[in-house]
Amino acid sequence: MPENDADPTVPIICPECDTETRIPISELAETLDRHNEGRHDGEEVARVDPDIADQLADLVAEDMGLL
Ligand SMILES: [Zn+2]
């Protein structure tokens, strides 16, 4: 079953937790905030996979302040 295009997911990586998670783009900022606030004292440890961030930048990331 194909994923729908309305809510694509993006990979989030956290090198300190050694995790990679796909997050719906609509929840991206909130999820990153919550993770970094809860686990890393607000430091921006978890972030969008850099390989994907370049592509995202063309789409939405600039507006969302994620890069
Ligand atoms: Zn983490």
Structure tokens at 60: 């939405």
* 2-44 residue pLDDT tens: 555 667 888 999 999 999 999 998 898 999 999 999 999 999 9
User: Using 50, 70 and 90 to split pLDDT, how confident is the model at 1?
Assistant: low
Ligand 1 ion: residues within 5 Å (CB): 14, 16-17, 39, 46
List all residues 6 or more positions away from 16 whose beta carbon is below 8 Å from its beta carbon.
Answer: 39, 40, 45
Q: What's the CA-to-centroid distance between 4 and ligand 1, angstroms?
A: 28
* 53-62 residue pLDDT tens: 887 777 665 5
Q: Which domain holds residue 38?
A: 9-64
For residue 36, what pLDDT is reported? 97
Q: What's the CA-to-centroid distance between 1 and ligand 1, angstroms?
A: 31
For residue 42, what pLDDT is reported? 97
**Tally of domains within the chain:** 1
The answer to whether position 41 is within a domain reads yes
1 CB neighbour count, 10 Å cutoff: 3
